[in-house]
Structure 1
Amino acid sequence: MSGGRILTASNQPSPEDGSDALLRQTLLEYQAILDNASVGITFTRKRRFLHCNQRFSEMFGWSSDELRELPTEILYPSQEAYEALTRTARPVLGSGERLDLEIEMKKRDGGTFWCRMLAKTIDPHDYSKGTIYITEDITERRNAQEALLRARDELELRVQERTAALEMANARLHAEIQERKMAEQQIRYLANHDALTGLPNRRLLEDRLEQAIEMARRNVHQVAVLFIDLDRFKPVNDLFGHRVGDLLLKAVAVRLRSLLRAVDTVSRVGGDEFVVVLPEMQSAVAACETAQRILLALARPYSVDGHELRVTPSIGISLFPANGIDADSLLTAADTAMYRSKHTVRGNFQLYQPDMRATGVEA
């Protein structure tokens, strides 16, 4: 490949002319500078090459002589790429500014590579005077940048995948924790509630009764305990089966809950037996009024599984502190009074009296 040349033998000045010799020497020096530059330099006019330096020839595979008068578009991968460059370059060069961009260019053998192109017109008001282009091969730098970008993208992808995996693991752990909490809550609930009616069982009943007693001691109140037994419940089981009997018990539980205050507790303690705790009672009369409401409500007929059923409650009432000072003694007293009610007139209530124990009425 021949080096780029600006001057030819035919147009060299005569050595006898001193000024021409000086000019020739200056031109040779300029050509040496151009040919030893590490970047490609070319001069174009009217979109055609006039000459280039050695580095430009090495980059593109054209000597300066071969390139002369060829159209500049031969160094671009496609006509579209050349036209896009023209649209970008024209307003910049026309304003007298320097064009500076990175672009893909084509070699003589058809291969492409990335270049940084710097360009400036000799006279922005007169394109016919030509344009100087400086071209630097930046393929290695672009490849390194792209490799870094790929590595960054791969790293980001791995981070995203790891983050997603951690989020999934965290979600599973959170779900497992929630399931465990729900299971623990269910266990605690089952440990303190009747499985059939959902009412507090005897364990929770005794705890709430002790709390009511302690509060009554501090506030000088009374606590009433109502022990309820359903009369004529066994015939329902015998005649219609345990399924209907269970539905009836659930219906009784619903009615009891609807009659009581938020501070009251209604509990199923077994079979057809229920216990109601009424804290903050002012008198036995108030407890008896609640018992009367319960009698009337529970005595109304029930529609269960297509059957109209009737049961009546027998209720025994004990009071704190008159009939006991702890949960066991109050429950025993209320149970004793309930049995007195069943042995006298069913469907009624009885207040506990101390002589009930002496007469042997207890269960």
Structure 2
Amino acid sequence: MEPRIRQAYEAGRFEEIAFLYAPVGLVVTENRVIRDCNLSFAEMFGYERDALRDQTFSILYPSAEEFQNIRDRGVPKLRESNTYWDERVMARRDGTLFWCRVRGHSFTPDAPLTRAVWSFADLSPVRPYNELTRREREIVSFLADGLTSKEIALKLDLSYRTVEVYRAKLLKKFGVVNTNALFTALGQVDATHVVSRAGEES
């Protein structure tokens, strides 16, 4: 047993080792800057802990647009209930993308991102990342919002038939037979908790 762990046990400082050695990624943030994280979080993203401290969270996202999209999506939920969770695509240090389940709690509900704590679980073992084109992600996002193919066609200035072709290709790509099964394949949860990727060209 490491001296640090033994000393923490002897002194009753269990919160210290619980944070550091938890088998799920934990991170404390301030205005979307990583103030501290545990070993699992750093390992998940391919960094040393010290390299992540005081870094903006944007370095862990596939694009700046997605970093902003998550903020816009999460803040209203945090203000409403002071908790938030979703499943999203994140980026490791080497550039590989992976699905991640994220849960958050704010210490400053009126300004939810000022100070918060988050947990991150790597879903790679059960859900390998499948690349979607920009147009596929747009259509999945609108489907998740409950829009029909006709409504999506109007939003994207496409024909109804084109949207239906994209939808059929998505079902085939993920080996499913309907939209609900597609959301399950993408996120394993209700579509309202699946954050579609954005900002890349097809």
TM-score by length of 1: 0.33
The amino acid across from 2:174 in the alignment is: R
CA contact (8 A) 2:99 2:129 kept: no
- Among candidates 69, 77, 83, match of residue 98 of structure 1: 83
Q: Which has the higher helix share?
A: 1
Q: Is residue 54 from structure 1 mapped to residue 39 from structure 2 by the alignment?
A: yes
Q: Distance in 2 between matches of 1:110 and 1:96?
A: 33
CA contact (8 A) 2:38 2:49 kept: yes
Q: Is residue 31 from structure 1 mapped to residue 16 from structure 2 by the alignment?
A: yes
- Among candidates 93, 100, 103, match of residue 115 of structure 1: 100
Q: Distance in 2 between matches of 1:87 and 1:29?
A: 35
Mark the CA change 1:66 to 1:149 in structure 2 (over 3 Å): closer, same or farther: same
The amino acid across from 1:106 in the alignment is: A
Mark the CA change 1:77 to 1:129 in structure 2 (over 3 Å): closer, same or farther: closer
Q: Distance in 2 between matches of 1:144 and 1:72?
A: 21
Q: Distance in 1 between matches of 2:40 and 2:110?
A: 29
The equivalences for 1:1-363 within 5 A come to: 25-26=11-12, 28-127=13-112, 130-143=115-128, 150-153=174-177
**Counterpart of 1:235?**
none
The alpha carbon displacement at 1:101 in A equals: 0.6
Mark the CA change 1:86 to 1:101 in structure 2 (over 3 Å): closer, same or farther: same
CA contact (8 A) 1:45 1:127 kept: no
The alpha carbon displacement at 1:116 in A equals: 0.5
Gaps of 5+ in 1: 6-20, 154-363
Gaps of 5+ in 2: 131-169, 178-202
Q: Distance in 2 between matches of 1:67 and 1:75?
A: 10
CA contact (8 A) 2:34 2:55 kept: yes
Mark the CA change 1:92 to 1:128 in structure 2 (over 3 Å): closer, same or farther: closer
In the alignment of these two chains, the number of paired residues is: 132
TM-score by length of 2: 0.56
Q: Distance in 2 between matches of 1:136 and 1:64?
A: 17
CA contact (8 A) 1:96 1:120 kept: no
Q: Deviations over 1:55-103 (max 9, x none)?
A: 1011012222211111111110001111110110111112233211110
The alpha carbon displacement at 1:129 in A equals: 5.5
**Counterpart of 2:191?**
none
CA contact (8 A) 2:34 2:57 kept: yes
Runs of 4+ with deviation above 4 angstroms: 126-129
Mark the CA change 1:48 to 1:25 in structure 2 (over 3 Å): closer, same or farther: farther
Q: Which of the pair has the greater relative contact order for Cα pairs under 8 Å at 6+ separation?
A: 2
Calculate percent identity across the aligned residue pairs. Answer: 27
Helix, strand or coil for the counterpart of 1:93? helix
CA contact (8 A) 2:98 2:128 kept: no
The amino acid across from 2:54 in the alignment is: E
Q: Distance in 1 between matches of 2:48 and 2:15?
A: 18
Q: Deviations over 1:197-249 (max 9, x none)?
A: xxxxxxxxxxxxxxxxxxxxxxxxxxxxxxxxxxxxxxxxxxxxxxxxxxxxx
Q: Distance in 2 between matches of 1:76 and 1:111?
A: 11
The amino acid across from 1:131 in the alignment is: A
Mark the CA change 1:151 to 1:68 in structure 2 (over 3 Å): closer, same or farther: same
The alpha carbon displacement at 1:39 in A equals: 1.1
Helix, strand or coil for the counterpart of 2:174? helix
When the two chains are superposed, the root-mean-square deviation of aligned CA atoms in Å is 3.1
